[in-house]
């Protein structure tokens, strides 16, 4: 990060007036002609921890830091985190129709970063464009652009390729189309996570349930979705959980986002799927998102399994207070069914005496259609 930037025409010089470091992060305060801004930085540059590769600890460290950073910094990082959560790496669908690039060169994440950075500059120019259309002087237009911190350009805009990268990046509409391809499978994975949530709560209450059982929870996905909607369901062995395995390392962020209802009727996962990063970047929403993510990993997942990805998230959100939340009602309403399936031996009993099982639980047996369950 450069300590200052100058422009001879406008004599604008930014100088570092203070600097402090804690927990691997540095806060630098810049000042120029009475104006100040902070820049929160980690050991690596933005290019190295968000663009060329994705370092969850460094990204979340900056996003959860109590200090504000230069204009656009946390907004672009929110776009990077959100797109990484939806598309964290390399996978191939069962039909081999979708193939994402390796995480180090994720098209989704990079496209989101470019679009978010472009939006920052575009919003700054909007007033200038309006003035030009109204015949007002644009003599100081360039000066207005330079009122943005030089750190934004030096850390984000130019390292990712500047205007040339913007011109070669596909549109937001293209990004939304890509994200929509994941929608059904992601929401199926959310259902699976919610079933595991009920399962883990049962174990913690002392119920005699098997401690592990993603495969068993998978058989419940289609049944619970059908029962909650009064629709046909798939046979249990036709539920496909391949996408769950693909996004397992980022699913805590998606599951926590799904649990957050917004005033406009959407939840935070809907917002992220629509690339609406402004809402996800709001302080109160982000705090709730990170707090629930940490709670889910630290108090639900980690006690019941040992996975390196869980430990990574706990470290990444170490400065956050965990915030408890409950499974969504459409799954929690079938808590007794979930616990039944996780009792030893009951799966075989269900397969052999399925009609009796539904009658005993005062439920109508869902119709089975034999199709693959790929999502909602």
Domain end (from 169, 197, 215)? 169
With respect to residue 19, please indicate whether it lies within any of the assigned structural domains: no
Q: What is the pLDDT, as a whole number, of residue 311?
A: 93
123 half-sphere exposure, CB direction, 13 A CA radius: 9
Q: Say if residue 252 is in the same domain as residue 346.
A: yes
Do 275 and 176 contact (CB within 8 A), yes or no?
Answer: yes
With respect to residue 127, please indicate whether it lies within any of the assigned structural domains: yes
With respect to residue 30, please indicate whether it lies within any of the assigned structural domains: no
Lowest mean pLDDT among 30-34, 156-160, 264-268: 30-34
Q: Say if residue 282 is in the same domain as residue 159.
A: no
Domains: count for the chain:
2
Q: Say if residue 77 is in the same domain as residue 148.
A: yes
Q: Say if residue 222 is in the same domain as residue 337.
A: yes
Q: How far apart are CA 358 and CA 129, in angstroms?
A: 65
Closest CA to 238 of 370, 97, 50: 370
Q: CB burial class (10 A; 0-12, 13-18, 19+) of residue 23?
A: exposed
**Which helix (DSSP H) or strand (DSSP E) does residue 126 occupy?**
helix 107-133
With respect to residue 37, please indicate whether it lies within any of the assigned structural domains: no
Q: Say if residue 138 is in the same domain as residue 191.
A: no
pLDDT, tens digit (0-9, with 9 covering 90-100), for 272-331: 999 999 999 999 999 999 999 999 999 999 988 778 889 999 999 999 999 999 999 999
Q: How far apart are CA 134 and CA 363, in angstroms?
A: 67
Show the domain range for 209: 175-360
Q: Say if residue 235 is in the same domain as residue 296.
A: yes
At residue 28, φ and ψ (nearest 5 deg) are -110, 135
Q: Say if residue 165 is in the same domain as residue 181.
A: no
Q: How many residues does the chain have?
A: 376
Do 241 and 218 contact (CB within 8 A), yes or no?
Answer: yes
The β-bridge partners of 38 are: 29
With respect to residue 84, please indicate whether it lies within any of the assigned structural domains: yes
Q: Say if residue 143 is in the same domain as residue 206.
A: no
The β-bridge partners of 239 are: 373
CA dihedral of residues 132, 133, 135, 138 (deg, nearest 10): 0
Q: Say if residue 227 is in the same domain as residue 242.
A: yes
With respect to residue 25, please indicate whether it lies within any of the assigned structural domains: no
At residue 186, φ and ψ (nearest 5 deg) are -65, -45
Lowest mean pLDDT among 140-149, 320-329, 330-339: 140-149
Q: Say if residue 162 is in the same domain as residue 179.
A: no
pLDDT, tens digit (0-9, with 9 covering 90-100), for 40-54: 999 999 999 999 999
With respect to residue 24, please indicate whether it lies within any of the assigned structural domains: no
Helix, strand, coil share (%) of the chain residues, nearest 5: 55, 10, 35
Q: Say if residue 72 is in the same domain as residue 181.
A: no
With respect to residue 376, please indicate whether it lies within any of the assigned structural domains: no
Q: What's this model's pTM, rounded to 2 decimal places?
A: 0.84
pLDDT, tens digit (0-9, with 9 covering 90-100), for 249-268: 899 999 999 999 999 999 99
Do 257 and 246 contact (CB within 8 A), yes or no?
Answer: no
């Amino acid at each position: 990060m450069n300590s200052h930037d100058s422009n001879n025409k406008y004599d604008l010089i930014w100088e570092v007036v203070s600097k402090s470091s804690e927990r691997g992060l540095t806060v630098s305060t810049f000042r120029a002609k009475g104006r100040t801004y902070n820049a929160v930085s980690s050991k690596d540059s933005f290019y190295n921890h968000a663009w060329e590769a994705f370092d969850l600890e460094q990204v979340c460290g900056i996003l959860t830091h109590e200090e504000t950073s230069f204009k656009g910094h946390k907004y672009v990082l929110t776009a990077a985190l959100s797109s990484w959560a939806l598309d964290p790496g390399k996978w191939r669908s069962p039909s081999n129709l979708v193939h994402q690039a390796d995480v180090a060169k994720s098209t989704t994440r990079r496209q989101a970063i470019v679009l978010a950075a472009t939006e920052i500059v575009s919003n700054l120019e909007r007033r200038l464009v309006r003035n030009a259309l109204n015949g007002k002087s644009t003599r100081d237009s360039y000066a207005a652009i330079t009122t943005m911190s030089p750190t934004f350009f030096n850390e984000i805009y130019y390292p990712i390729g500047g205007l040339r990268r913007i011109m070669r990046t596909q549109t937001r509409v293209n990004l939304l189309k890509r994200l929509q391809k994941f929608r059904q499978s992601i929401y199926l994975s959310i259902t699976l996570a919610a079933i595991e949530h009920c399962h883990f709560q049962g174990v913690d209450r002392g119920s005699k349930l098997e401690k592990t059982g993603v495969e068993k929870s998978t058989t419940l996905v289609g049944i619970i979705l059908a029962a909650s909607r009064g629709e046909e369901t798939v046979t249990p062995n036709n539920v496909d959980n391949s996408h769950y395995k693909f996004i397992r390392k980022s699913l805590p962020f998606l599951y926590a986002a799904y649990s957050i209802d917004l005033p406009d009727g959407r939840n935070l996962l809907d917002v992220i799927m629509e690339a609406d990063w402004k809402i996800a970047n709001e302080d109160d929403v982000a705090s709730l998102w990170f707090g629930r993510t940490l709670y889910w990993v630290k108090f639900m997942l980690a006690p019941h399994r040992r996975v390196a990805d869980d430990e990574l998230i706990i470290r990444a959100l170490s400065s956050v207070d965990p915030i408890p939340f409950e499974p969504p009602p459409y799954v929690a309403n079938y808590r007794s069914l979930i616990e039944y399936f996780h009792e030893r031996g009951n799966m075989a009993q269900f397969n052999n005496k399925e009609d009796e099982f539904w009658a005993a639980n005062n439920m109508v047996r869902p119709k089975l259609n034999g199709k693959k369950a790929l999502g909602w």
